[in-house]
A and B are shown apart, each in its own frame.
Chain A
Amino acid sequence: MAGHDGAAVVVADDLTRVFGEGDTAVAALRGVGVEIPAGRLTAVMWPSGSGKSTLMHILAGLDKPTSGTVHIAGTEITALGDTALTKLRRRHIGFVFQFFNLLPMLTARENILLPLSIAGDRPDTAWVEDLVQRVGLADRLRHRPAELSGGQQQRVAIARALVSRPTVVFADEPTGNLDSASSGEILELMRTSVEAFGQTTVMVTHDAQAAAMADQIFFLADGKIVQRLPRSNRHDILAAIENLNVR
């Protein structure tokens, strides 16, 4: 929970990422710099293939950039070893995945508490209860993922990401595998977490409706940030995309 509202908690500077070597080399990022302000929802968007997933992987320390730096809560993470990164993940990073990535053999409750048990922390009961109420899972806690709908599974995943109150939550296409009704609920929930808990969140999406929930939107194309919008409605976002396509 580093930084007060608006201060940058994740800072990326001049990131490049090249896949492959020689003739087959493809640059997914070519000099990207972003600042993620605390307590806000930031969206990274573009229809596809622009390297936005790569950007998120690097910001979250899952992948290493070819050059450039990433700071999370003041720590430069691109040079960290595996142990240091693991510790960083425990304290500072939460994930929400497109395919939920719940562990099928654990109940919803156990899945939610998993990050705490991995880190060896005692759950803060009041906080967990509050969280469970907020995500609307109070009556489904004993169920296994296979017994939950897609939307419910994603709620479990969100609760799991929030439970350790990380510095930043990264959400990778969180609505990409859901129908529109469930998508709406999930986006609502993410917005709530930002407003109610001040949870800094970075969301990668190609969905304008999702981007409309964000406090700021980065547009990524050809490995570069081509535009930044403040909070906008769906119409403005689509217009911006249209505009960029024409250009």
Chain B
Amino acid sequence: MIRFALRGLLARKFRTVLTALGVVLGVALVSGTFVLTDSISTAFDSIFKETYRNADAAITGKSAFSLGSDSTTGPPSFDQSLLKTVTALPEVGSAGGSVNGDAHLIGEDGKSIAFGGAPNLGFSVNPALPQFNALSLVSGAWPGAGEVVIDKSTADKKDLSVGQSIGVQARGPVQRLRISGIVEFGGVSSIGGATIAGFDLATAQRLFGKQGRLDEILIAAAPEVTPQQLVASVQKMLPPGTQVRTASEQASKDASNTTSFISFLQSFLLAFGGIALFVGSFVIANSLSITIAQRSREFATLRTLGASRRQVLRSVILEALTVGAAASVVGLLLGLALAKGLFKLFDAVGLTLPNNGLVFQARTVITALLVGTVVALLASLRPALRATRVPPIAAVREGAKLPPGRFHRYRGVGAAVVIAAGFAALLVGLFVSGLGTPAVLTLMLGGALLVFVGVAIFSSRLVRPLAAAANPVARWSVVALSALVWPLFTLPFWMIRYGVWGPGPAGRRVGAFLLGSLLNPLVLVVVLLMALRRGVTRWQPEWPAEFPGVLAERSATQIGGENSRRDPQRTAATAAALMIGLALVTLVAALAAGIIKPFEDAVDAIFTADYAITAQNNFDPIPVSAAAAAAKTPGVESIASVRTGDGQVFGKTIQVTAVDPQASDVFSLDWVHGSQAVLGQLGADGAVVSDGYADDHDLTIGSPIAVRTPTGTTLDLKIAGVFHPPPGGSPFGTVTISSSRFDQNYEQPRNLYTFVRMRGGVTDANTSALNASLDSFPNAKAVTREQFKENQINGVKTILNVLYVLLALSVVVSIIGIVNTLVLTVFERTRELGMLRAIGMTRRQTRRMIRHESVVTALIGAALGIVLGLVLAGLLSARLDFVEFVLPVPQLIAFAVVSLVVGVLAAVLPARRAARLDPLKALQYE
């Protein structure tokens, strides 16, 4: 029996490979994800280990409460006198202090050098204590006063060398420094696109505005002192606002942010692997059902020879397991290549990830193999059960049909129940409050899966009406599509082939050949390859007898349309695979549109100034001195900046923002209590909150509110105003205070945005004046409201593109599904096709017939998917405040066209097979 199963697979190689492809792609994404994230985390690990290579303990500043994960405020710095105290301790062997911060290197174009959103690291280096120095010199010397060392990768990319001078911007305006050396970080030429700038301590302190202060002290223990003893003794003399950890604790602390980023990235990518596998399981289940229906005589024969139902079941499952395992192995290897591709993909969209070479762990192998095999196994269960229902008598009856299952009658009801359960889970997950995040995610995921499966089962009932509706659409859209590609593809193809093999006078043929090659040289290559093949295999190309037309032929498309309705269950299952991909793409498109619209509305409502000043990358905070420089621009009527930092209120870490007095003139907010003027009169103790926060904490005008800063000071404030933010959000955090109060209590204040109102509004003169005053702040730029909106939305669009690329994979899997079904159908209908050919159907009509069936199937999938995607988007936007329900019309049209193309492409191969059938042999086919 084992032999029966395995030999069967070999006998149907082509079909088996097509079936397996879905799993291959899914497993590739899963294993690729693991390889990618393992590689990133290994790279990060080595970076952090390198930092603390020879240290036993580290002293850092300590914030009064734990900062938010997306905090822009680092821990506070401390006085550098601590270094002397620490060095004097008997347990301490050596100790070195350093400062760090963002340091932008300025390129020759006057712009900040940045590679794909990676950070611009700057820190002090002390060549006298090489044991604490993670950098190693490649060329040149360590920096002295007014000098800088930069990393090799940046130097190579920007063609910088020792001795040149380079602009560096940290806290203040750009400073010109001399490049004294080129360095590598721990022997790695690049750490994820980050630029590195190293200075001597005094220069660094000056650049970062941390004169007399330190961010970190690394300590090596004296001989025979353990790190724990060292920590204990340092602990005793630490001033408040500092803390000491062993080097390994500090390394894992530093890594915790990247660890959570990596695990997010992992879940994110695995989700797409899961989607591809889910779609792949549809493909497997469908192909297996079809092959089993076709092989019912084989199974029946086995039964007459004494095979039990269980043996039949086992042989089908064994087949699926073999396919699944083999596909998983291939997918695993493909995953390695995919990991490289993903690195490139993220690089292309501006997220450069560190990479020290791909890491291939045992866990990756085991998970990938297990997942692929289990998916194949689960997908085979239903077809396998169907196979056991093949009665032995089918061995002697021609065209015996599989008996419907016991539950066939309840199929419609069952599907409805599954769909209802899915939506119920979604609704509970979305609207019932008080559930934990894992519960919500499980409910949403489970709900979505149930809905997809339910709709897939139920859709066999919808196939007939949908196919009837899709029929004319398919016919005319294919005509339109053919008409579009006709002059560039069909016509030159015909001309070149006519030129090469056609009958007729030589002159006409040469003319046709030349004209055709001119129209599309690519087709020339195809025809030349065909000629080569003819030479090698003596294959006879058919004459391009008729002139290529584009008009639909009713007879061929009619049979194709009927065919798509012949086995609704098969068509439905094939379409369902495409449905899932399209539903998700539609959901993503609708959500993106739904996020962008309220955001634009919010900007339009709040942003009443003329210009905004932001970082070059639109989101990094910029030094406050940039705003000060901009304020001096002639023509500025009012200017106000928004600063941001972390604070603790009511025991929770929140975002604190601060505004300048002129804010009342550059923003327009909707006030519940207080008025626009409040923004300008916050003074030392005024605070503004949103209405939602005020309601949650029973705040009204005059209510006291205490904000703790990271340095441990408590600011006692009074509510001066309550505003209603638009659904698209506002630039303000939970609590907004005056910037003067903020600056007194926050180290290193930086602006998120600066808004400027100018005399005369937006004019070319004003724009250039503003940019001129920002000359020494290359990382800042002045933009108009429209540019501001566009820049901010670009982030959403980038994410959208990544999602599209990843979801495209599941669409590819569903294309394979359609190809597979059509190929199997062509096999099944061999005799019928032979008959049609025998009674005069041309090859081209045969191709058209198959293609039409394919397009109709794809359109059914598209219709179901788009509707389902919109329903899901509607649900989500009803729940999420910042999302509106917006119909992404251009995208939907694009998706419909894509499905059409999917249908056409999927039919290419099966249609060729069908057209190539020899009518005589086909009629004898059994």
Contacts and interface: CB of A to CB of B under 8 A. Distances in A.
Interface string B763-792: 000000000000000000000000000000
Contact of B8 (A82, A89, A105): A105
B10 A86 contact: no
Contact of B297 (A60, A87, A101): A101
A105 B11 contact: yes
Contacts of A164: 306
B393 interface: yes
Contacts of A90: 306
B115 to A, nearest CB: 56
B80 interface: no
B4 A63 contact: no
Interface in B340-391: 391
Interface stretch (B259-267, B307-315, B424-432): B307-315
B309 A82 contact: yes
Given A89-B306, A105-B11, A110 B396 contact: no
Given A103-B4, A118-B1, A160 B305 contact: yes
Contacts of A172: 396
Contact of A117 (B1, B7, B297): B1
A203 B301 CA distance: 18
Contact of A95 (B305, B307, B309): B305
Nearest to B926: A99
A173 B715 CA distance: 101
B395 interface: yes
Contacts of B308: 82-83, 86
B303 interface: yes
A226 interface: no
B891 to A, nearest CB: 48
Interface size class of A (residues with CB under 8 A): 20 to 34
A88 to B, nearest CB: 9
Contacts of B10: 105
A129 to B, nearest CB: 21
B304 interface: yes
A106 B10 CA distance: 11
Contact of A118 (B8, B302, B396): B302
Interface hub of A60, A82, A118 (most chain B Cβ within 10 A): A118
A39 interface: no
B306 A62 contact: no
Contacts of A83: 308-309
B298 interface: yes
Contact of B4 (A95, A101, A105, A119): A105
B273 interface: no
A86 B310 CA distance: 11
B298 A103 contact: yes
Contacts of A110: 3
A101 B7 contact: no
B408 to A, nearest CB: 19
Interface string A50-84: 00010001001011000000000000000000110
Given A97-B396, A105-B10, A118 B3 contact: no
A62 B393 contact: yes
A114 interface: yes
Contacts of A160: 305
B733 interface: no
Contact of B396 (A57, A89, A114, A119): A57
A114 B311 CA distance: 13
A98 B364 CA distance: 53
Contacts, number: 72
A115 interface: yes
Contacts of B309: 82-83, 86
Contacts of B306: 86-87, 89-90, 93, 115, 118-119, 164
Given A57-B393, A82-B309, A105-B8, A62 B304 contact: yes
Contacts of A82: 308-309
A104 interface: yes
B396 A106 contact: no
Interface in B1-58: 1, 3-4, 7-8, 10-11
Contacts of A57: 393, 396
Contacts of B710: none
A164 B307 CA distance: 13
Interface residues of B, number: 25
Given A114-B305, A115-B305, A62 B1 contact: no
B447 interface: no
B173 interface: no
A92 to B, nearest CB: 10
A97 B11 contact: no
B61 interface: no
B302 A62 contact: no
Given A62-B392, A106-B4, A95 B304 contact: yes
Interface string A130-161: 00000000000000000000000000000010
Contacts of B302: 103, 114, 118
Nearest to A90: B306
Contacts of A118: 1, 302, 305-307, 311
B318 to A, nearest CB: 14
Contacts of B307: 86, 118
B342 to A, nearest CB: 40
A160 B307 CA distance: 14
Contacts of A105: 4, 7-8, 10-11
A174 B314 CA distance: 31
B482 to A, nearest CB: 40
B915 to A, nearest CB: 24
B400 to A, nearest CB: 11
B393 A63 contact: yes
B621 to A, nearest CB: 68
Contacts of B396: 53, 57, 62, 97-98, 172
A62 to B, nearest CB: 4
A89 B393 CA distance: 13
A83 B307 CA distance: 10
B301 A103 contact: yes
Contacts of A89: 303-306, 392
Contacts of A99: 926
Interface in B47-103: none
Contacts of B8: 105
Nearest to A63: B393
Nearest to A170: B304
B395 A101 contact: yes
Nearest to B308: A86
A106 B926 CA distance: 17
Interface in A157-215: 160, 164, 172
B395 A95 contact: yes
B397 to A, nearest CB: 9
Nearest to A89: B306
Contacts of A87: 306
A106 B305 contact: no
A127 B111 CA distance: 90
A217 B308 CA distance: 33
A99 B392 CA distance: 15
Contacts of B1: 117-118
Contacts of A114: 4, 302, 305
A115 B307 CA distance: 8
A52 B306 CA distance: 23
Given A89-B303, A118-B311, 19 more contacts: A62-B391, A62-B392, A62-B393, A62-B395, A82-B308, A82-B309, A86-B306, A86-B309, A93-B304, A93-B306, A95-B305, A95-B395, A101-B395, A104-B11, A105-B10, A106-B4, A114-B305, A115-B305, A118-B306
20 contacts: A62-B304, A62-B393, A62-B395, A82-B308, A83-B308, A86-B308, A89-B306, A90-B306, A95-B304, A97-B301, A101-B297, A103-B301, A104-B11, A105-B7, A105-B11, A106-B7, A114-B302, A118-B305, A118-B307, A119-B306
**What 9 pairs across the A-B complex have the smallest Cβ distances?**
A90-B306, A105-B7, A105-B11, A62-B393, A101-B301, A89-B306, A86-B308, A115-B305, A118-B307
